[in-house]
Structure 1
Amino acid sequence: MPPDVATSPFEEVLRSAVRGEVYSDPATRGLYATDASHYQQQPRVVAVPRDEADVVTALKIAHEHRVPTTARGGGTALSGQSFGPGMVIDCSKFMNQVLEINAEEGWARVQPGVVRDQLNAELKPLGLHFAPDPATSSRATVGGMIGNNSSGTRSMVYGKTIDHTLSCRVALADGTVLECGPMDDEAWQRRAAGGDGVDPREAEVYRGVRDLVNRHQDAITAKFPRVMRRVSGYNLDEFVDGAGYCGPIGPRADAIAPDAHRTWNLSNLIVGSEGTLGVLLEAKLRLTPLPHATAVCVVHFDDDLASLAAVPTINTHNPSAVELLDRSVLREAKVNPATKDMATWIKGDPAAVLLTEFFGDTPEDVATKARTFADAMRNQKVGYAHPLLLEHSQQHDAWETRKLGLGLISNVKGPVKGQAFVEDACVPVEVLPEYIGGLQAKCCELGIGYSMYAHASVGVIHFRPAIDLHRDDHREAMQQIAEYAFTQVQKHGGVFAGEHGDGIVRGGFIPRTFGPELYDAFVRLKTLFDPRHLMNPGKIIDSPSMTDPKLLRYGSQYRVAEVSSQFHYRDQGGFRLAVEQCNGVGACRKLGSGTMCPSYMATRDEKDTTRGRANALRLAMSGQMGGDTADDDSELTVQAMTTALGGDAVHEVLDLCLSCKACKSECPNAVDMAKLKAEATQMRHNQHGIPLGAKLIGRMPDASRFMFGPFAWIGKTLDRLPPYRVLFEKLTGIDRRRPLPAFASLHLHSLLKQRPAQEPAAGAKTVVLFNDTYTNTMEPHLGLAAIDLLEGCGYRVVLANAGCCQRPRLSKGLLKEAKILGQHTLRNLDVYAQQGWPIVCLEPSCASALKDDLPDLIEDEALGRRVAEYVTMIDVFLQAEGVQLRSKYPDVLLHGHCHQKALFGTKAIRQLADAMPNTTCEEVDAGCCGMAGSFGYEHHDLSEQIGEDRLFPAVRDAVAQGKTVVACGISCRHQLHDFLDVEAKHWVETVEPAPESE
C-alpha cells in the first residue's frame, strides 16, 4: 500500500529520514491496530525499517516528538502486547536475516524479524535447533519470542526463551544502543562507572540496574513466584541468587541452582519485557541439539479432571511433553478442514487426551520407552486407550492438531467464542484438578461454557471461557471469572502469566502479584530505561483495565449495520460473523509451508494476509476505516457501511488475494477470504460499475461459444500481434507479456461424434462427467481422456451439459449474475443428483464452485445441499470406488491445485499411485503456482515471484530428472508453460485401467 501524504511534522520528518516504509493511512493503521488478542488500538503511524539504522533513526525522531513506540513481530500476541497508540515498528518484512551460525560453539546471531521455524529450517541440516516451540512457531518472530519470553510444548525440557538468549543489542527510546551480554561483577562495575569509553546513558542504565537489584534483593527473593513458567513483570530475579528458583528444569538447571552465582546479563531484563524497555536490534541465541528420536503415547480419558490428576504420575516417566486436548477441541478436530485428515489418532469420543512425548537416542530406544509407559498406564488404569504414534507422519499429525488448538476452539458458529483471558495461569501440577475444577464451577455458575488445552506437564492449562464480547453481561462475566482465577492462582502459589505474557489482559494484576515494593521497583526500572515512558505504554506498568471499553475490539463502542450480502454465509451465521471469524492468530503469516497466503509469502506485507484482509473488512463494516469508531448510530447506516466495503481502501487491501481458498482449509478458523473478496468486489461493482476486464473474464464462458471452432484462429492470430496485446492490456489490465489461452478448433461434442461409441456393460454404474467450459472449448482432449478412463473402468458416462460452474464470475465479483446462472446449473445437475449419480469434475476450481460456493450463494439451500453431496473430483471418486489403475509414466511429480487441496485434497491421487506397480508419485512441497485464474494475467511479476517460492525450482529439478509433471488445474498448467516452458499433464492423461491380470 503506497504511503499517503504526511499529516504532521512528525510524520513528515519520519518519512524523509527512514529508508524503509512509513504508513499513516487509515487502512494500514487499522491492520496494525490488533493482534491475536481481543483488543484494538489505532497507531498513529507504522514504520517498516530496512535495517537497524532505520530503527534507531525512527526512535530518535519519535523521542523528539514524544510519540510512543511499539515494536511488533508477527503480531501473534494473545495478551495485547503488539500494538500501541503511537508508532508501530514492524521488523518482520526486512530485518529477518540469520546473520551468523556457529555450529561448533552452538549459537546463532539473528535479526529480530526471523521466524522461528525459518531459523530452524536452516539449522536442521546441522542437527541443531532454537528450542522454544510455541504453537505459533510457523510465524512467531525471534524478536517477539524474546519480548514475550516464549516457551511452548517442551518447556519441561527446554525451559523458556530466556534460557536460550545469550546476548542482544537493543535500542532505547532515545536511540541509545545497548550491548547486552554476560559479564562478571568487575566488568559490570566498570560499565556502571562509565569506564572503557561507555556511553553515559549506557552507564546510567548499568548503574541503575545494580542499585535497584541491591535495594530490593530481599523482596525479590521473597516475592517472586516460584514456578518455572513465570513470564510476568520484569526478570529482576535473574540477578538474585535463588530467587524464583523452582527446581532443576530446562537447559540452565545447573546454572540456576540456589547455591550457584548468576552471571550478570542485561539481556535477561530485555527478555520478557514486552518491548517496554527498548527495541531489539539483534540477538545471539543458544542452539540445542535436535532430539535423535521421538515417540508419542496418546492417553485417552473419560473425564477431563481425571486427566489432570494423572499428570504428576505421568511426569515421573520423564516425558518431553504432556499436552492436554479436551472434548471440544477433539470433536472440532475431527470435522475441521484443517485437521480432519490428521485426527485419525483419536479413539472414540474422549473427554480429554494427554499427548505424551518421549525423547530417545534411537527409534528403537524411544519406542521401548513409549511402550513401557503405555503398559504402566494400563496397569495403573490411567486412561482407557493408549495408542502409540511411532512414525514421524503420525506424530506430525498429532502435533499439528495440537498447534491449531486455539483456532479449533474459536471456530464455532456464532459470536460466542473461547476467549483468552485466564488461559495463561500456571499452578503446581499437583493442584491442577482443584484449580481447573473451580474454574469450571465458576463458569457453570455464570452460565458460561468453556474448553481447554495445552501444557499440562508444567501446570499451564489454556482454559478458555466461551464469551461473546459484543455483550455487556458477558464482558462482566469475563471480569468476574478473571478475578476468581487470579485469587485461586495466588492461593496455590502460581502466577497469572505463565506463557503469553502480561499485555493488557493481565497487566492490571501485576501490582497484586508482586506487591507494592516490587511494583515500585518495576516502575523505577521502566523509568531508568525509558524516562518518558514512550516504549509500548500501558504494558507491565500502568496497565489499563482488562475490560477497558476503549481497547476491546468488540467492546460497547463496537457497532455494525447489517449489510446485505449475496452469499448467505450459512456456516458462520451471516456476513458479519464470517468477517469476525478471524481471531488474529496469524496462521496466514507462515512461510515456506502450505499454500496460505501466497501473496504474503512474496511481499511480506501484513495487508496481504488473510488476517489483514479480514481486519480491513471488519474496520469498513464497523465504520472504523477512517481511523476511529463512529461516534453515533447515524453514521452506521447500511449505505455507509456498504460504501466503505466497496471503497478504494478495502479494494486495495483485497487486490492481491489470489482467491486460492487455502485459508478455508489451512486457517484454523476456516476464514474463506475468496468468498469475502467476491462479496466486497460485488459491492464495489454496485458503486462504480463493472470494469471491462472483469466483464471479459467473468463472462468468458458466454464468449467461449463464439471463440472456438472455426473462429479459434482469430484469437490465436491477434494474440501474436504486439499492438493488440498493448491495447488489450490498457483495456482489460491483462499483462501484455502473458499469452492468452487458446480455444480449440473442435468442441468436445464434435470430438465425441468422431469417436466410436462405447457400449457399457449391462448394469454398469452411471457417472456424470461435468464438462466445464475449459474442457468443452479449450482442452477437449482432456474430456476424451476422462471418458476413456471412466468407461475403461466399467462405468457408463453421461455428459452433464449443465452449464458453467460460474467460477469466472465468482472470481470477478459478479455475484448477482452468478446467483441466477448458478442456480440454473445446479438445477440441471440436480436431475442427476436425485438419481444418485456421482458428478465428477476435472477442473478443481469448477468442483469447488459447485460443491462450496454456489450452494451458499443461491436461495434454495436444499438444492445446493443435494447437488454438493454428489459433486467430487474424478480422482477422489475412482479412489473411493477401489479401481485398479496403472500409470503411463513411471515417475511423476504432482502439483495440487489450490482449490483441490483446500476442499478435496491430493491424497486420492497419491493412494492410487501407491497401488500402481513400478510407479513413483512425489507431491511437490509447494504452495500456489501464482496463476490463480486471471490473477497471473493481471499481476505478472508477482505471479512469477509466487511460483519461484517453491514450485518452479521443484519442477525444474523434476524435469531435469525426466519426471512427468501432473497438475489438474488449467491455471497451473498454463503457469508452468508460460514461465518454464513445461507441458504439464492432467492426471486423467497419465493413467489407464489396469489389466485384470495385474
Structure 2
Amino acid sequence: MTTTAPGRGGRAGLDAAAVSEALALGDCGEVAGDAGRRAQYSADASNYRRVPLAVVFPRERRHVLNTLAVCRRLGVPVTSRGAGTSTSGQAVGAGVVLDFSRHFNRLLALDPQAGAATVQPGIVLDDLQKAASAHGLLFGADPSTHSRCTLGGMIGNNACGSHSLAWGRTADNVLELEVVTYRGTVVRLGEMTQREIDEAVAVGDDRGQLIASLHRLARNNLATLRTKLGRFPRQVSGYALEHLLPERRFNLARALVGSEGTLAVVLSATVRLISPPPARALVVLGFQDTGAAADAVPALLEHRLLALEGLDQALTDIVTRPRTRAAIDSLPAARAWLFAELGAASDESADTLPLRATELAETARQTTGFTGSEIVTDPARARRLWRIREDGAGLATRTPDGAEAWPGWEDAAVPPDRLGSYLRQFTQLLTRHGLQGAVYGHFGEGCLHVRIDFDFTTEEGTAVFRAFVTDAAGLVTAHGGSLSGEHGDGQARSELLPLMYGPEVIALFEEFKEIWDPDNGLNPGMIVRPLPVDGNLRVSPHREPLPLAPPSRGFAFHADDGDFAKATRRCVGVGKCRAAAHRGDVMCPSYRVTLDEKDSTRGRARLLYEMTQGEVITDGWRSTEVRDALDLCLSCKGCSADCPVEVDMATYKSEFLYHHYRGRLRPVSHYTMGRLPRLSRLAARMPRLVNSLTASRLAPLVKRLGGIDGRREIPRFADETFLTWFRRRTPRGEGGRGPVLLWVDSFNNHFTPEVLRAGVAVLEDAGFRVQVPDGTQCCGLTWITTGQLGTARRIARRTTNALVPVVESGMPVVGLEPSCTAALKTDLPELLDGDGDGDRDDQARARALAEATLTLAELLARRAPDWQPPRIDAHSISQTHCHQHATSGFGADSELLRRMGVDNTTLASGCCGLAGNFGFERGHYDVSVAAGEQVLLPAVRSAAPDTHVLADGFSCRTQIAQRTDRTATHLAQLIARALPAATEPAATEPSATEPSATDKEPTCD
C-alpha cells in the first residue's frame, strides 16, 4: 500500500471534517473533530499549543489498529495521549490525537505470585495501585500525578516519582510491551537472548526485519552505547539505546520506554509489582537554602532511603490556602527543606525506624547550613506534608507576586554529588537572564523541577526564554547531566539534545527512529528532527487574541490583573481535576461522573482560553461550544480550593454566562431558580396555595414551565418565614458578649426557617444578642451562578451599603447557609469592582463585610472560646458543603463537634451533586444523582439509625432527603436540640396596619 509520510509534507487539503469522517467510517471507536474537542486537546501541561485535526477515543484494540490504518492512508500523524499531564509538549499534535484514558484503560490481568500485572495503556496509576494493594503490592514508579496519570503516559516519558531512589523508573518496572508501529506491525517486546533474536530474524516477516535492524544498530555501536548512554539513573533524554546491549539482554521493551510515542503505539504492558515496606518514617530536614540542602544529599544517601525530596521556601511562600498553609507553617524553621523517607525491610525491623530516623537527622545536623529537623510519626500529617510536594507543579506556576511561571526547564538532572554546584550556577544563570523560579524536586537523584517567570507575551521575553534554555543545556551538560530526568524531551528540549550528546549519538537516535517509523507518522518533531523550542508556544506575541466584546467585566479578577484570558491561563494542565477519587477533594464532580475531558476543570479552562484567542473557537462570548462545556459545571467552587493554581471555574462560568446571554433570551431556569429569592418572597404570601400547586397533578407542568427536571420534587415553602417569626419575638439571654448579625439567607428563611431559629437559640445561649439585617437583604448568589451579574451587582451594592453600620461597629456577621456565606466572603468583593469603574467605597465595604463574615463554628471559636457547648455523646457523619470546603473549610466545625463529645466522621464525598439550581435544572438530573451516589448517598443509607447525618447546606440536605429515607441536620440544630429546655416567649402578632417583614418591599431584585 502506498503511504504518504506525514512528517515530510503529508497530504494537502485535509481538514478536520474530512479526517473525522474518514475515521468514523473506518471503525476507529469514538471520533470527535468538532471545534470544542479540538480546543480541549490543543495543549497539555507544557508551554506548547497545537490544535489537532481530530481526537479518537478507542474502546477496543481494533480501534487503535484501524485508526493507524486510516491515518497512514491519509498521511496524517498520530499522537498518543494519556492524562495529558506532560510538561514538554509531547502530548499535543497537529494530526490525530489518540486518547487512551477514557475507554482503553482496563486491568487485563494481575498475578500476585509472579508479582506482575498486565494493563491497557489508559489505566490510571492509582487504579493499578488500588488493585495491587489488595495483594500487598504496588507499582514502584510513583510520579506526583499518580491520581490521574496513565501507565501509557508513564511509559512514554519514563516517569519516575519520589520513590525511584528505591524502586526505580518506569523502565525498571516494565517486563513486556505489546506495541503496534505506524505501518501496522504488532510486536511483543521484552528481553531477548541471542537465540531468540536469531529465530525472529530467520522468520523474515515485518517483526523479524525490525528486530534484525535493531540488533544490527546495537552490534555496530557497542562502544557508544556503553559510554554515552545510561551513565546515571536519571539520564532520560533521548532514546534509551543502552538497553539494546547484550549485557542488558537486548531488552526492546525498556528501550521503547521514554520514546514519547515516536516509535510505536502501546497496546498493553506487563509490569512488575513489588512489596512495599510494612512501615515508613518521614524525617523533615531544614536548611538555610537549597544549595545547602543539595550539598547534604550525598551524606544522606548513605542511609538507604526510600525518598529524598527537596522544597524551596520560594515555593511554599506561594501557598495561601489555609489548610495547606497550616501544614507548611508546621515545618521546621528554614528556607529549604528535604523530605527523607525511611522504610522498614520487614515487620520485625519496623521498630528500628525511630533509631534510623534519629541517625539520619544526626547526619544532617553535621552538614553545613542545617537548621533543624523533625521526625514525623503521624501518618495523616505525613500525608499533608507530602501533598505540598505533590502539588509543586501547580503551586510553582505563580510567583509570590502573582506573575506567571512556566515549565521549559523544569526537569534537568545531574549526578547527585554534583547537585549543589549545579544548583548554585543555575541560580546565577537565572539572575543573569533576569528570571526567577521556585525550585523543588527529587534531590536524592539530582533531578530538579522549577517553573520560571518567562514572558512569552513579548518578542524580547521569548528571546530570553530561548537564550536561557540554551545556556542551561550547556550548564547541565558541563555537570555530566541530562536535559530531562523524567518528563521527556518533547518540544521543550529535543532541539537542545545535540548540545548534550553530539552528532554521533544524535545520528544513532535518528537511525533508531527510522527503523521503527520510516514514515515519521508517530509524534513527529519530538526527540529527532525536532520542532524549535520556541515554536508553537501557547502564549505567543505572534498570535493576536480575539478582542472580546463587550469590554466591561462582571468580576474584577484582581489576582489576574483584570485579564480574563490570564485567569484562564491559570490552568497549566497538571490535571488534578481529572483525579476521579482524590480523597478529601471536591473537584471536579461532573468529571468524576462522566470521565470526559470536556467536563473537567482543565477541559473547560482550555475552551475558555481558546475562546479568548479566536482561532478554533471563533465566536467569542457567543460560543455554543463553551456554553455546552460549562453546562455540567456545578459551580461548586471545589476547583478554587483543590486546584493547585486556584482555577475558579464557578466564577469563570458566571462571567461567561453574563456575556453570553447579555441582551438575549435566557434559559427559563435562569428566570425561575436564578431569581429564586424574589419568587420566594411572592410565594411566602400564600405558601399553602403554592405548596398545593407544586404537589398537585399540575406539578409536571409547573416543573416543565420552570425548567425543572420532572424527577425532582420542588421543596415546600414554610408556613411562616424566619423573618416573620424573629421580628415578633422577644430576645432571650443576657447578650453579654455583644451583638451579632445573623445573615438571613433566602433558602433557610423560606424553606427551612427552623435552621435559623436553631441558630438564634445557640447564639443566645453562647451570650450573643442576635440581630438581623434591616429589610430583606440578599447576597445575590442565585443571580451570580446564573450569570445575571448586572442585577447581582446592584443587589450586592444595596446589601453592603445597608450593612455599613454593622461592619463599622465591628459586629461579626454569622451565616448558616455555606453558599451564601461564601458569596459574602469571596464573590461580593470581586463583583463590586468588576465593571472597572466601581465606587471605591462600595469595594471597601464589600471587603470589610467579607472579613466580618464567619461560619457558626468559627464565630463560637473566635468570639466565645470559653462557651461550653452541650455534651452530646453520639456518632455522626458530616457532609461538608462545597463552598465551605472552598472558603473556610471544616476545621472549626470538627473541633466544635469534638468538644461536644460527638464522634464525627467527615465524609470524603466531594459535592452532593445538587449544587443549588444545578440539580434541579432539566438535563442535569442524572449527573446530579450520580455525583451523590459516589460516596454521600450510600454513606447516608448505610449509617446506623442513631447516627446523626450533618449537612449545613440546603442543597445537601435536599439531596439527602430526596434520595434516601434519612433527614439531614444542620449543626445549629444539633446543638440547639441539646440545650437546656426553655419556653419560647410568646410572639407579638404583627400589626394589622403594619406589613410584616414578609410583606415589605423586597430589596433583592
TM-score computed with the length of structure 1 as normaliser: 0.92
| Kept after mapping to 2: 8 A contact 1:227/1:495 | no
1:407 Cα deviation from its structure 2 partner: 1.6
| Counterpart among 843, 849, 856 of residue 874 in structure 1 | 856
- 1:733 matches 2:707: yes
- 1:949 matches 2:934: yes
Q: How far apart in 1 are the matches of 2:450 and 2:590?
A: 35
Instruction: Show the 5 A alignment for 1:538-577.
Output: 538-548=525-535, 550-561=536-547, 563-574=551-562, 575-577=564-566
Q: How far apart in 1 are the matches of 2:29 and 2:771?
A: 59
Counterpart position of 1:214: 219
Counterpart position of 2:448: 461
Long gaps (5+) in structure 1: 242-260, 628-642
- 1:966 matches 2:950: yes
Counterpart position of 2:241: 236
| Kept after mapping to 1: 8 A contact 2:304/2:342 | yes
Q: How far apart in 2 are the matches of 1:217 and 1:717?
A: 87
- 1:273 matches 2:259: yes
Counterpart position of 2:398: 411
| Kept after mapping to 2: 8 A contact 1:413/1:573 | no
| Counterpart among 949, 965, 990 of residue 981 in structure 1 | 965
1:776 Cα deviation from its structure 2 partner: 1.3
- 1:140 matches 2:149: yes
1:294 Cα deviation from its structure 2 partner: 1.5
Counterpart position of 2:996: none
The farther-off stretch of 395-404 and 178-187 is 178-187
Post-superposition Cα deviations, 1:596-641, rounded to whole Å, max 9, x if no partner, equal 11111111111111111111111111212348xxxxxxxxxxxxxx
Q: How far apart in 2 are the matches of 1:832 and 1:364?
A: 59
The letter for the 2-side match of 1:878 is L
1:385 Cα deviation from its structure 2 partner: 1.6
| Counterpart among 561, 568, 586 of residue 575 in structure 2 | 586
Q: How far apart in 2 are the matches of 1:34 and 1:807?
A: 33
1:313 Cα deviation from its structure 2 partner: 1.6
- 1:921 matches 2:904: yes
Deviation beyond 6 Å, 4+ runs, structure 1: 993-996
Q: How far apart in 2 are the matches of 1:376 and 1:467?
A: 38
Q: How far apart in 2 are the matches of 1:482 and 1:388?
A: 38
Q: How far apart in 1 are the matches of 2:277 and 2:858?
A: 38
The farther-off stretch of 227-236 and 515-524 is 515-524
The farther-off stretch of 151-160 and 181-190 is 181-190
The letter for the 2-side match of 1:907 is G
| Counterpart among 787, 800, 810 of residue 760 in structure 2 | 787
Q: How far apart in 1 are the matches of 2:538 and 2:16?
A: 27
The letter for the 2-side match of 1:480 is A
- 1:689 matches 2:677: no
- 1:352 matches 2:336: yes
- 1:440 matches 2:410: no
Counterpart position of 2:210: 205
The farther-off stretch of 369-378 and 306-315 is 369-378
The farther-off stretch of 459-468 and 812-821 is 459-468
Gap change, CA 1:653 and 1:568, over 3 Å in 2: same
Counterpart position of 2:507: 520
Q: How far apart in 1 are the matches of 2:544 and 2:226?
A: 45
Post-superposition Cα deviations, 1:791-848, rounded to whole Å, max 9, x if no partner, equal 1122211123451111111110000000011111122233211111111111110011
- 1:837 matches 2:811: yes
The letter for the 1-side match of 2:962 is D
Query: What fraction of aligned residue pairs are identical, expressed as a percent?
Result: 33
The farther-off stretch of 579-588 and 506-515 is 506-515
Partner SS state of residue 797, structure 1: strand
| Counterpart among 736, 741, 747 of residue 774 in structure 1 | 747
Long gaps (5+) in structure 2: 1-13, 833-837, 981-1005
Counterpart position of 1:400: 387
The letter for the 2-side match of 1:134 is P
Post-superposition Cα deviations, 1:350-408, rounded to whole Å, max 9, x if no partner, equal 32111121112465322222122223333556511212211101110111001111222
Instruction: Show the 5 A alignment for 1:613-652.
Output: 613-626=604-617, 644-652=620-628
Counterpart position of 1:631: none
Gap change, CA 1:726 and 1:62, over 3 Å in 2: farther
The letter for the 2-side match of 1:516 is P
| Counterpart among 55, 58, 65 of residue 56 in structure 1 | 65
The letter for the 2-side match of 1:660 is C
Partner SS state of residue 870, structure 2: strand
The letter for the 1-side match of 2:167 is Y
Post-superposition Cα deviations, 1:683-704, rounded to whole Å, max 9, x if no partner, equal 0111533332201111110111
Gap change, CA 1:839 and 1:9, over 3 Å in 2: closer
1:899 Cα deviation from its structure 2 partner: 0.5
Counterpart position of 1:27: 36
Give the alignment's Cα RMSD to 1 decimal. 2.1
Post-superposition Cα deviations, 1:637-671, rounded to whole Å, max 9, x if no partner, equal xxxxxx51232111011111111101111001011
| Kept after mapping to 1: 8 A contact 2:121/2:150 | yes
Counterpart position of 1:930: 913
- 1:191 matches 2:233: no
Counterpart position of 1:310: 296
Q: How far apart in 2 are the matches of 1:676 and 1:337?
A: 23
1:265 Cα deviation from its structure 2 partner: 2.9
Q: How far apart in 1 are the matches of 2:977 and 2:946?
A: 24
| Kept after mapping to 2: 8 A contact 1:426/1:458 | yes
| Kept after mapping to 1: 8 A contact 2:411/2:483 | yes
1:879 Cα deviation from its structure 2 partner: 2.9
| Kept after mapping to 1: 8 A contact 2:16/2:54 | no
TM-score computed with the length of structure 2 as normaliser: 0.91
Gap change, CA 1:22 and 1:961, over 3 Å in 2: same
Q: How far apart in 1 are the matches of 2:420 and 2:890?
A: 43
- 1:378 matches 2:365: yes
Q: How far apart in 2 are the matches of 1:822 and 1:446?
A: 46
Post-superposition Cα deviations, 1:929-971, rounded to whole Å, max 9, x if no partner, equal 111111111201111111122222222222x464221111111
| Kept after mapping to 2: 8 A contact 1:38/1:554 | no
1:132 Cα deviation from its structure 2 partner: 0.8
| Counterpart among 843, 847, 851 of residue 861 in structure 1 | 843
The farther-off stretch of 843-852 and 504-513 is 504-513
| Kept after mapping to 1: 8 A contact 2:612/2:620 | yes
The farther-off stretch of 670-679 and 221-230 is 221-230
| Kept after mapping to 2: 8 A contact 1:889/1:990 | no
Counterpart position of 1:329: 315
Counterpart position of 1:251: none
Counterpart position of 1:612: 603
1:981 Cα deviation from its structure 2 partner: 3.0
Q: How far apart in 1 are the matches of 2:362 and 2:16?
A: 69
Gap change, CA 1:358 and 1:787, over 3 Å in 2: same
Post-superposition Cα deviations, 1:433-473, rounded to whole Å, max 9, x if no partner, equal 22121122122122222221111111111133321211222
1:552 Cα deviation from its structure 2 partner: 4.1
1:8 Cα deviation from its structure 2 partner: 4.7
1:496 Cα deviation from its structure 2 partner: 0.8
Q: How far apart in 1 are the matches of 2:970 and 2:711?
A: 25
Q: How far apart in 2 are the matches of 1:901 and 1:662?
A: 7
The farther-off stretch of 589-598 and 948-957 is 948-957
1:478 Cα deviation from its structure 2 partner: 1.4
The farther-off stretch of 509-518 and 809-818 is 509-518
Instruction: Show the 5 A alignment for 1:3-42.
Output: 8-18=17-27, 20-42=29-51
| Kept after mapping to 2: 8 A contact 1:889/1:964 | no
Q: How far apart in 2 are the matches of 1:159 and 1:13?
A: 42
The letter for the 2-side match of 1:84 is G
1:736 Cα deviation from its structure 2 partner: 0.7
The letter for the 2-side match of 1:829 is L
The letter for the 2-side match of 1:663 is C
1:328 Cα deviation from its structure 2 partner: 1.1
| Kept after mapping to 2: 8 A contact 1:772/1:843 | yes
Partner SS state of residue 639, structure 2: helix
Gap change, CA 1:889 and 1:59, over 3 Å in 2: farther
Q: How far apart in 1 are the matches of 2:656 and 2:702?
A: 28
